[in-house]
Structure 1
């Protein structure tokens, strides 16, 4: 009986997982795109809120801005642009620069380090554009 329970527990995730075909039936998937450029201040004032602008390249009409992937680790922020890619429509290829923004509230007094995702290098490792922004009181 214990073996049967173990088999059920091990197979349970596979019974509920989705195949790639199931994803395509939804008509979309999410994709992280590299940041081309960033506009932000040279320094932050403690307690203020800032609008940070990111520009990226949208490769086809099938891509639409969805959200940011945003990770916090102390005073380090890792940020990537997430697009919804529609698979159930006919898309023509083109290249268009899109600018999106997010608000950043300064709550600490130490220098913030921002890591903006810029794709993968020739070895398949993630690349980041690093920006250090000091905080003044």
Structure 2
């Protein structure tokens, strides 16, 4: 009886993992950078305070879904910010849209220096990345 239960449990576990396969072992999505259209930031920061930064990004397809932000520390007080989305790769019925969506992230001020934020706004005609640069002074 124990062998039957153990075999049934192993069979159930195997079928569970195999049942989630996409069939061809390929991802059905890929990550994309979503263009940021506008940002709301304070005129100045206070050291050691946390700020909610409001960001609007452009969703260009109904097969794109916001995943979060990629915030890269380029230098001590320079941050490159990109809105990251996932886009379905295997869907044939994606519709082009232009939907501006607002979201936010929290930022903690750790240094008593001016911060420079570079927000990814898309690529130009030659494929070069374009950024909206905003400087924010820090006060004590």
Structure 2-normalised TM-score?
Answer: 0.76
Written as runs of structure 1 = structure 2, the 5 A alignment for 1:1-137 is: 25-72=26-73, 73-89=75-91, 90-137=93-140
Shift in Å at residue 122 of structure 1?
2.7
Shift in Å at residue 64 of structure 1?
0.4
Runs of 4+ aligned residues of structure 1 deviating over 4 Å after TM superposition are none
1:70-95 Cα offsets, whole Å, 9 max, x none, are 11021000000110001234322222
- Gap runs ≥5 in structure 1: 1-21
The structure with the largest alpha-carbon Rg is 2
Partner of 1:8: none
Equivalent residue of 1:26, what SS?
coil
The aligned length equals: 115
Once superposed, what is the RMSD of the aligned Cα atoms? 1.5
Equivalent residue of 1:134, what SS?
strand
Shift in Å at residue 31 of structure 1?
0.4
- Gap runs ≥5 in structure 2: 1-23
